[in-house]
Chains A and B, each alone.
Chain A
């Protein structure tokens, strides 16, 4: 029973991993480039909202979340300009390294802001419980789940119901053809970075909120987890990122009931199992070349 409870909790919280995975996947789908600074930018957005909240304690939690999402969205644009805009497409290593530079920079900013320790973050109804038979569900986890699902549905609506979404998908499929149709690559790419940033910032804020703590170690941890989710789900696949996020979340929480120490080791082994048995990921097309 403890295990089932843990797995359900893991699935609920795993939606935040799914959002981070979607961010990585979106950028990879459109640019065919890896943005290693993405998860760090998401947490940096959450820390921005933390600073605002520490000065204005009366702010309601949704407003804090909004600040985190907007802050990470702006950071997404900054990353696009600093690491992608001016570096030639032919040098994939240079863009990768530039995002690593950004990752180190943001990680350091977070360390400074947090004084090197975890900081209190406003929680959503931390004490509320919803007892369902033998299960004891935390209401804030359910809220995290609900907010994430709404955010994902909004993203899908954006991608499949708006002109920007059509442009984004066109660029992902065939950048040259998209350009010939009069789509601005520059603007579409920038928009993708902002959208994924907003999703990431929301996820970062919810990770902090569900623990009522924002840890200074999160930028690196979340980078690793986000990449794992992206690869397990299949590169460039949004449904894959969602399923993989839930899977990793459930796997993690389930293992925690057994041993906290072995948890991270087992998650790393999980990715090796996937790489050997299903290298394309859950929903990805097998395209081993980049």
Chain B
């Protein structure tokens, strides 16, 4: 049972990572910086709880705020670009943040133990849950409260005016601009919101793994962040969740049982390739999303 709760934790934090990129992708921007905001959230929250003994319910909003501020600041210069330029700019930002944590050293003695981030060695002993005797199931539940909260927020946003504005910018910037939408404001806000969500995800991630290292937040994680929403489709937040279930649940946890771990990553790349060839607009594209919504509406009327 603990294995399943552990899996639920992994799926939860990855869903948050994917959703943070979902917001940005909706405005048509491909971001490779989500891993950086995730790292910032992880380090800030872990330092608050472990080094300064702050309550986790305060540490998570603080982590989100710092990641949000960084995203907003970086967003202004970065979002002058589109397409490839933005991919490279955000990738460079991500790598710069990772290199920063690689060189970041701040340890204090706590009892007979030194705690805090230690450069290349990473940040060990984030034992907040462990010290308070939380079980795996309780931690999984705690993470999913945040997952559901963020999904509900984005689902509401999708159906509101804000979602329409984001999509308008994503579909056609020129058209959006000519109906009076401030492109920079929309893009930077989406980027900052994505940063805040990634900050929450990173904070949860740091506490459930109890050990973060700069290598975890590289290009691969940034790729995963955009892979979930693109694979799942940008029409619905549930697409991201389904893509995470597909990748983390089926490919990463299920395939090793079926065919052994060696082939797993090879197949992983190929399956992404195949999925994009068959469903270029994502697993849940506009048609499926409309169909689902139709089912929902009809059942309510009946």
Chain A residues packing against B (C-beta within 8 Å):
28, 34, 82-83, 86-88, 91-98, 100-109, 111-112, 220, 223-224, 227-228, 230-231, 235, 261-262, 264-265, 268-269, 271-272, 275-276, 279, 288-290
Q: Report how far A261 CA is from B280 CA in the complex, Å.
A: 41
Which A residues touch B89, using CB under 8 A? 231, 271-272, 275
Residues of B in contact (CB 8 Å), total: 45
Which A residues touch B227, using CB under 8 A? 97, 100
Which A residues touch B80, using CB under 8 A? 275, 279, 288
Residue of B nearest to A235 (CB): B84
Q: Report how far A91 CA is from B277 CA in the complex, Å.
A: 11
30 sample A-B contacts, Cβ–Cβ < 8 Å, listed by A number: A34-B84, A82-B273, A97-B231, A97-B276, A98-B272, A98-B277, A100-B272, A101-B272, A103-B223, A105-B266, A108-B265, A111-B265, A112-B262, A112-B266, A224-B95, A224-B219, A227-B84, A227-B87, A235-B84, A261-B102, A264-B99, A265-B96, A268-B96, A271-B89, A272-B96, A275-B85, A276-B77, A279-B80, A288-B80, A290-B84
Task: Give chain B nearest CB distance to A33 CB in angstroms.
Answer: 9
Q: Report how far A100 CA is from B84 CA in the complex, Å.
A: 14
Residue of B nearest to A227 (CB): B88
Pair B88/A86 contact, Cβ less than 8 Å: no
Pair A289/B173 contact, Cβ less than 8 Å: yes
Pair A272/B77 contact, Cβ less than 8 Å: yes
Apart from A87-B277, A97-B227, A224-B91, list 19 A-B contacts with CB within 8 A.
A82-B273, A86-B277, A95-B276, A97-B226, A97-B231, A104-B272, A105-B270, A108-B265, A223-B219, A227-B84, A227-B87, A231-B89, A235-B84, A268-B93, A272-B96, A288-B82, A289-B83, A289-B173, A290-B84
Residue from the list A87, A109, A227, A268 in contact with B280, Cβ < 8 A:
A87
Pair B276/A94 contact, Cβ less than 8 Å: yes
Is B209 part of the binding interface, using a Cβ–Cβ cutoff of 8 Å? no
Question: Once A and B bind, how many residue pairs between them come within 8 Å at the CB atom?
Answer: 140
Q: Contact flags (1/0) for B68-102 with A, using CB distance below 8 Å?
A: 00000000011011111101110111011001101
Pair A101/B84 contact, Cβ less than 8 Å: no
Which B residues touch A262, using CB under 8 A? 103
Is B47 part of the binding interface, using a Cβ–Cβ cutoff of 8 Å? no
Which A residues touch B96, using CB under 8 A? 265, 268-269, 272
Q: Known interface pairs A87-B277, A271-B89. Does A97 touch B230 (Cβ–Cβ under 8 Å)?
A: yes
Residue of A nearest to B285 (CB): A91
Pair B82/A289 contact, Cβ less than 8 Å: yes
Pair B91/A227 contact, Cβ less than 8 Å: yes
Q: Report how far A227 CA is from B92 CA in the complex, Å.
A: 10
Is B133 part of the binding interface, using a Cβ–Cβ cutoff of 8 Å? no
Chain B residues packing against A (C-beta within 8 Å):
25, 30, 77-78, 80-85, 87-89, 91-93, 95-96, 99-100, 102-103, 173, 218-220, 223, 226-227, 230-231, 234, 262, 265-266, 268-273, 276-277, 280-281
Closest 8 CB pairs of A and B: A290-B83, A105-B269, A101-B272, A94-B280, A104-B269, A101-B273, A91-B280, A265-B99
Pair A271/B271 contact, Cβ less than 8 Å: no
Q: Report how far A272 CA is from B96 CA in the complex, Å.
A: 10
Residue of B nearest to A236 (CB): B84
Pair A103/B85 contact, Cβ less than 8 Å: no
Looking at A109, A220, A268, the one whose CB has the most chain B CB atoms below 10 A away is A268
Pair A279/B219 contact, Cβ less than 8 Å: no
Q: Report how far A59 CA is from B231 CA in the complex, Å.
A: 44
Which A residues touch B95, using CB under 8 A? 224, 264, 268
Pair B219/A220 contact, Cβ less than 8 Å: yes
Which B residues touch A106, using CB under 8 A? 269
Q: Report how far A235 CA is from B83 CA in the complex, Å.
A: 11
Residue of B nearest to A289 (CB): B82
Which A residues touch B87, using CB under 8 A? 34, 96, 227
Task: Give chain A nearest CB distance to B23 CB in angstroms.
Answer: 15
Residue of A nearest to B219 (CB): A220
Residue from the list A97, A112, A275 in contact with B77, Cβ < 8 A:
A275
Task: Give chain B nearest CB distance to A88 CB in angstroms.
Answer: 6
Residue from the list B88, B226, B272 in contact with A228, Cβ < 8 A:
B88
Which B residues touch A112, using CB under 8 A? 262, 266
Q: Report how far A271 CA is from B81 CA in the complex, Å.
A: 13
Q: Report how far A82 CA is from B273 CA in the complex, Å.
A: 7
Pair A272/B269 contact, Cβ less than 8 Å: no
Which B residues touch A275, using CB under 8 A? 77-78, 80-81, 85, 89
